[in-house]
Amino acid sequence: MTDPRFAVTPEPPYYAVIFSSRRTPGDHGYADMAEDMERRVARVAGFLGMESVRDAEGFGITVGYFANEAAIAEWKGEPEHRIAQNEGRRRWYEHFEVRVTKVERAYGGPAKRTGEPGAG
Amino acid sequence: MTDPRFAVTPEPPYYAVIFSSRRTPGDHGYADMAEDMERRVARVAGFLGMESVRDAEGFGITVGYFANEAAIAEWKGEPEHRIAQNEGRRRWYEHFEVRVTKVERAYGGPAKRTGEPGAG
């Protein structure tokens, strides 16, 4: 499985931060910021990967995976990310929800594991 | 915040099942199945809501929210959902990842809460 849209994560437990968002119309510097944030989060110790998708309506889900709570806290407090968070509230997002979760178990298919219970 | 794309979830803890997937080309009954599954999951006791997005490349993330593990188990074993899972492995998905997570904390913005730490 080499599809780069999927994060390659270790065996649980680890953390997943689910960011669901509705964009405002127009770019207003959003694309540049998003690219910069992708580079910056990758430098956080304990960052494991991310998966992100947005549709033509402007609704998106991004999931960031982290080894532990310390990595999440570091990323939340990263100076440029703090600025981005503020700009996000001010002009990029009509609404968003952040959910910090602990991954308890995980499995993939069909290329990765075909013997998973329920695979038939 | 009345945007129907967002799930309205209670205070944590609750569970989130993150389903990341890459579709195969073509429909092959996928859209009808997806609509049917949305109706069926809503009948599961302890189902809280879902958020779902897929882009033009066929990469998508769906997050289902559940009150407890029993609700997740009931949904995983629902007869028509089991058939859909098998068909998904057989023809609808090139690859998918399922991560079962426990939501530890959550917050929203900007419409819902503007006094959140980090809001500036």
**Tens of pLDDT, residues B98-114:** 999 999 999 999 864 44
Nearest chain B residue to A10 by CA distance is B99
Q: Which amino acid is at B34?
A: A
Query: Residue B120: what pLDDT?
Result: 37
For A72-99, write each residue's pLDDT tens digit.
999 999 999 999 999 999 999 999 999 9
For B34-60, write each residue's pLDDT tens digit.
999 999 999 999 999 999 999 999 999
Would an 8 Å CB–CB cutoff place B99 in contact with chain A? yes
Question: Contacts for B30-33 with beta carbons within 8 Å, 24 or more apart?
Answer: B30/B92, B33/B84, B33/B87, B33/B92
Per mean pLDDT, which range of A1-10, A37-46, A99-108, B78-87 is the poorest?
A1-10
Contact B23, B30 (CB under 8 A): yes
Contact A78, A39 (CB under 8 A): no
Query: Residue A1: what pLDDT?
Result: 62
Would an 8 Å CB–CB cutoff place B113 in contact with chain A? no
Structure pTM? Answer: 0.92
Q: Give chain A's radius of gyration (CA, Å).
A: 16
Token code pair at residue B34: 């997806």
For A23-43, write each residue's pLDDT tens digit.
999 999 999 999 999 999 999
Whether residues B120 and A89 touch (CB distance < 8 A) is answered with: yes
Crossing angle between the packed helical segments A79-87 and A30-41, to the nearest 10 degrees = 150
Which of A5, A60, A96 lies closest to B53 in CB terms? A60
Give the other-Cβ count within 10 Å of B33's Cβ. Answer: 18
Query: Residue B110: what pLDDT?
Result: 81
Query: Residue A111: what pLDDT?
Result: 64
Would an 8 Å CB–CB cutoff place B102 in contact with chain A? yes
Cα–Cα–Cα angle for B7, B13, B19, nearest 5°?
50
Whether residues A105 and B96 touch (CB distance < 8 A) is answered with: no
Would an 8 Å CB–CB cutoff place A45 in contact with chain B? no
Q: What is the mean pLDDT of residues B63-78?
A: 98
Token code pair at residue B82: 């089991």
Restricting to A residues 7-36, those with a Cβ less than 8 Å away from any Cβ of B are 7, 9, 12, 16, 18, 20, 22
Whether residues B99 and A106 touch (CB distance < 8 A) is answered with: yes
Restricting to A residues 64-93, those with a Cβ less than 8 Å away from any Cβ of B are 76, 82, 85-86, 88-90, 93
